[in-house]
Amino acid sequence: AQSVTQLDSQVPVFEEAPVELRCNYSSSVSVYLFWYVQYPNQGLQLLLKYLSGSTLVKGINGFEAEFNKSQTSFHLRKPSVHISDTAEYFCAVRLGGGSQGNLIFGKGTKLSVKP
Amino acid sequence: EAGVAQSPRYKIIEKRQSVAFWCNPISGHATLYWYQQILGQGPKLLIQFQNNGVVDDSQLPKDRFSAERLKGVDSTLKIQPAKLEDSAVYLCASSFRGFATDTQYFGPGTRLTVL
């Protein structure tokens, strides 16, 4: 069965600094990978997803992520964060290849951007 | 385009009482999901509907939880009787076809507190 590990539960960073939120997954078959953001008292919103092709995926709000099959990682990056990026970020995995498998979420990383 | 609607937004009940949550997905979306998000964890799938049929309810505690989507549009999730450990945010999501590559769109959630 597939699983997702988000290595940091909290990441504090200063405004305009770069940030990387780490995600590792475990699966013996091909997967699709997703990053979602959750602002306080709101539902989850898709930032980006990797389905196939280029391993560098660009998403909304200036975020990007890189799929690394050999390291089974899908880290999320932003070169310069804003106060408004303060939120909780979830990495998720779903089985690929036409499977009907569920979306499995990590425990989340709380990004706190300080002025 | 209207998003996924959920009500109520907040609910406080005592243990052993019953409670129901309502979800209206994005118009035209065939697939509807209910997730449970316990504080400090990522969302966990409870049940998935394709139109008005159940695709996956393997993680639904069927002795106390039930869900229906009678006309293939809106859905209700019920807990009867509630336990303290049911305190969580209940998220509803929908997607166009339910394919693994599809984006899931989330509602704002219902925060349930069981006292």
CB atoms within 10 A of CB A68: 12
- Cα–Cα distance for residue pair A84/A72, rounded to 1 Å: 29
- Please write the tens of the pLDDT for every residue from A63-100: 999 999 999 999 999 999 999 999 999 999 988 765 56
pLDDT of residue A98: 59
Distance from CA of A25 to the nearest CA of B (A): 14
Average pLDDT, chain A: 92
The mean pLDDT of B34-58, rounded to a whole number, is: 93
DSSP state letter for A99: -
φ/ψ of A33, rounded to 5, equals -125, 145
Report the residue of B31, B41, B57 to disrupt the A interface, i.e. the one with the largest count of A CBs within 10 Å: B41
> Can you give the pLDDT at residue A19?
98
Helix, strand and coil percent figures for chain B, each rounded to 5: 5, 50, 50
A–B interface: beta-carbon pairs under 8 A: 53
* Closest among B27, B38, B101, B113 to A94, alpha carbons compared: B101
Conformational region of residue A109, where left means phi above 0, alpha means psi within -120 to 50, and beta covers everything else: beta
Report percent pLDDT > 70 for chain B: 99
Mean pLDDT for B27-31 is 94
Task: Write down the pLDDT at residue B32.
Answer: 95
Bigger pLDDT: B102 or A109?
A: A109
Strand-pair category, B110-114 with B10-13: parallel
- Mark B15-51 as b/e (b = at least 16 C-beta within 10 Å): eeeebebebbbbeebbbbbbbbbeeeebbbbbbbbbe
Give the residue-averaged pLDDT of B68-88: 95
Q: What is the pLDDT of residue A30?
A: 83
